[in-house]
Amino acid sequence: MSWNEGEHLYRVGSDRFLKRWDDARGRFLLFKNDQPVSVAEWNQAVNRAHPMAQKSAHPNPLIRWVERQRFRITERLGDCPARRILDIGCESGQVTARRLGGSGLSLLADLDSGMLRENRRKNGSAAAIPAMAANVTRLPFRDGSLDLIFCTEVLEHLERPEEAVGELARVLAPGGRLVVSVPNDRWIVAIKTMLKRLGLRGFLGPLSDDLAMGHIQLFSAGTLRRLLQGPFEVRRLFLSFPFRLNFFAVGTKSTDKGAGR
C-alpha cells in the first residue's frame, strides 16, 4: 500500500486511540493510550463507538440516502438463484432479510456478538434469521456449503484480508457468488478535507472528519481486484453512483481446484 496519511488520532470516552502508518510493514500500527493493541481490541472499540447504524440514523438526510443506496446496490448484486446465504459483518441483517424472501437457508455472522444482538433487536425483519458470532477467517461451515455470500464493509477492518477471501472461497460452492463492498477511502478523505476547509464540518454530524477509525486497509479498484482474483473470477467491479464512495465487486468461485486455499 503506497498511500501514507501518517497518524490518525481518535478519542473514545477517556481513551485515546492512535493509528500510525508504517511504510516498512505496509500497514497501520494501532495504539490505545500509547500502548500497542491487537486488531481485535481495536475493532471492538470501533464497533461500540462508531456502529454502522450511525449512517442509517444520521441527522443529515443526504447521508441517510447514501446509506440506503448502498443497501439497494448490495441487494441487487445478490439477485441470483441461491438458497444457502451467508451475510458476513451483517450489521442489522436487513439486506439478507429482504433477499431471503421467506425461503431457503440464511445465516447472519458478525465477530462482535454484542453488536449482533443489538442490531438484530433494532431490525425486526432479521430477528428470525439464525445468527452467530464468527471469525471470517475461520468459518464453521463445510467446504462448498453455501451459494451466496455478502461481505460488505468488512475487508477494510482486517489485518490479513487475503485470509478472509480464501476462507469465503472455501465455503462457497463451485460457481457460488460473492458480493463485496469496501469504502473508497482516498476519495472519502478528500471530501471530508474539503468540507472542513469550507467550514462545513457539521455536515458530517457524529462521523469522523478524518479516515474512519476502523479502517486499517485502504482499497483501490486495482487492489480489490487483485485480492479477489484467484479464488474468484471477478465478474463486476465498479464505484457507487453518484458520489463514488464505495467499491462494489461480484465474484464467482473459481473452478480451479485449490484456488480457495
Mind listing the domains of the chain with CATH numbers?
51-253 (3.40.50.150)
The end-to-end CA distance of the chain, in Å, is 23
State the pLDDT at residue 194. Answer: 94
| pTM recorded for the entire structure | 0.87
pLDDT for 156-184, tens place per residue? 989 899 999 999 999 999 999 999 999 99
Average of per-residue pLDDT across 122-139: 70
DSSP 42: H
Helices (H), the chain: 39-49, 53-56, 61-77, 94-100, 113-122, 161-171, 185-197, 221-228
Q: How confident is the model at residue 229 (pLDDT cuts 50, 70, 90)?
A: very high
pLDDT for 2-41, tens place per residue? 344 578 888 888 999 999 988 888 788 999 999 999 988 8
Would you say 133 and 103 are in contact if contact means Cβ atoms under 8 Å apart? no
AA identity, residue 49: A
**Parallel, antiparallel, or unpaired for β 84-88 and 146-152?**
parallel
Residue 217's Cα: distance from chain center in Å? 11
**Lowest mean pLDDT segment, chosen from 83-97, 133-147, 214-228:** 83-97
State the pLDDT at residue 231. Answer: 94
Helix, strand, coil % in the chain, rounded to nearest 5: 35, 30, 35
